[in-house]
Structure 1
Amino acid sequence: MLTRLLHRGHPLFLARHRYLVAQLVRRDIMSRYQGSVLGIGWSLLSPLLILAAYTFVFRSVFKARWPGGSDSTSEFVLQLFAGLLIFNLFADLLGRAPRVVLDQPNLVKRVVFPLEVLSWVAVGAAMFQAVLALAILLGAAVGFGTHLTAWILAAPLVLASMVPFLLGTAWLLSSVGVFLRDITHAIGPAVSMLLFASPVLYPVQALPPFFARILWLNPLTVPIESLRRIVLHGTAPDWQALGAYTAIGLVFAFLAYRLFERLRPAFADEI
């Protein structure tokens, strides 16, 4: 099945329209900061400001320490930033996905355009931010004296494992969002709840066993815990969990694309 999909140039594998997607991702990134003084520098500054705010509130105000760890502020910062990196990647895409098609009425109505690549563009732009945040995390880890091992080379694989799930989410929300506009308004509260329902502010091990097992059903848990193991603990990720996560993501993306293709003919009538 995988060979047939690759041979046919299935959008899931980006075998077609690679150049188009690359140009659109570049334009999306540049237009996001067009006219600003710092420009693309905001991609580096934004996660640092968010991290500073969380660190101040939880360390200085609530006097929190990382569960199961030391009372070191550096450990708290690194653990928190690793979780926020994955969370912000998904939250960025989640905020844009419902309007991916809605914001391009000309492409839907007047031009023969491969609308499925718009989801790839949204994923690519969000992934660009995540890669920069990963560079900041690695730099901070070195600055705080964390011993990085050769497993650090596997960190990009954690981000890559999220691509199928992100792509499926974009296809699902962008297609349904054309018909159900309320999704756009529901995303904000959903993202806020997702922050506390994901192991961003705490590790999985801090929960009772029953709730820990439920937390593994959260699609952000595997990449967050994998990234922490690689960068902060210098150990290999759980390859079995990461492989299963990627496989499930591929199935989800395939089904989401099928739904996108089924709803596509009605897009022009709704927009």
Structure 2
Amino acid sequence: MFTQAWKNRSLIWQLLKRDVQARYRGSALGLLWSLVTPIVMLSIYTFVFQTVFKSRWSDSSGETTLSFAIILFLGLTIHGLLTETLTKSPLLIVTNQNFVKKIVFPLDILSWVTLMSGLFTFIISFVLLLILILFELKTIPLTALLLPIILLPYCILLLGVSWLLAALGVYLRDIQQITGTLATLLLFLSPVFYSTSILPAQFQTLLFLNPLSYVVEASRAVLIYGNLPSFSGLAIYSLVAILVAYAGNHFFRKVKPGFADVL
């Protein structure tokens, strides 16, 4: 799964640059849209959930609008990476038919490009998040150094999902319609807009079947609260992520010979 990406790292880099440039080509603000969009969405969600619905993350009287926004923004940023993978992957092969029919091309790396493109947007939003944390908390917890080991299995999981959806998207065009709804469903069935502590114990267990839930909770623990994540949970999540990535890659390679015939 990974040697193919390493061998073609220069090609992945070129495709990534092309993807990012194409996304903002012709727009007046250009790359600034990657910063403006999350700020606008954060403002809207914060207003709706805290001002309209009177939501509070905790019973603490010291909770401010900014602290609520930080907790919310981290969850939305992590979900954004999932959304980009789910919505773009089903069309990866369909929209790159020239790579399938005309030249010998390592189609596997298109999922890497999709993941890294999503990470580009994630990093920009994450820098904004760090600024907000510094402004509100005046410091960043030392446990924040553990964030990469939480996000790594999440990225591996998304990579496997991308391979699976890219392959299925060739044969089942309805996949594109399903994934958009699925992304929204996973958003509201994860602790992005609410704390898991408000749910009954049995629902908390079900909630963590959502691939977003552990990552969101563990990321908040290390980045905002300064707590250690559940390492047993991280080990289980990592194992599942590797299995999903392997299964997705295996399925992609197995059905890849039929792409040219279908397209």
Structure 2 length-normalised TM: 0.95
1:165 to 142, 157, 166: 157
2:10 to 12, 19, 40: 19
Contact 1:67-1:206 within 8 A present in 2 as well = no
Amino acid at match of 1:162: Y
Matches within 5 A, 1:227-242: 227-242=219-234
Contact 2:93-2:167 within 8 A present in 1 as well = yes
Percentage identity across aligned positions?
A: 36
- Give the match for residue 254 of structure 1: 246
- Give the match for residue 51 of structure 1: 42
How far off its partner does 1:26 sit?
1.6
**Structure 1 range deviating more: 227-236 or 61-70:** 61-70
Matched, 1:117 2:109: yes
Amino acid at match of 1:180: L
Q: Distance in 1 between matches of 2:94 and 2:6?
A: 25
- Give the match for residue 141 of structure 2: 149
How far off its partner does 1:121 sit?
0.4
3-state DSSP of counterpart to 1:49: helix
How far off its partner does 1:176 sit?
0.5
Q: Deviations over 1:216-244 (max 9, x none)?
A: 11111111011100111012222221232
Structure 1 length-normalised TM: 0.92
Cα separation, partners in 2 of 1:22 and 1:68, compared to 1, 3 Å: farther
- Give the match for residue 98 of structure 1: 90
* Structure 2: runs of 5+ lacking an equivalent: none
Amino acid at match of 2:113: V
Cα separation, partners in 2 of 1:254 and 1:21, compared to 1, 3 Å: same
Matches within 5 A, 1:72-221: 72-221=64-213
3-state DSSP of counterpart to 1:235: coil
How far off its partner does 1:156 sit?
2.8
Cα separation, partners in 2 of 1:61 and 1:148, compared to 1, 3 Å: same
What is the count of residue pairs matched by the alignment?
262
CA RMSD of aligned residues (A): 1.5
Contact 2:186-2:210 within 8 A present in 1 as well = no
Q: Deviations over 1:32-64 (max 9, x none)?
A: 101111111111111111100101111221121
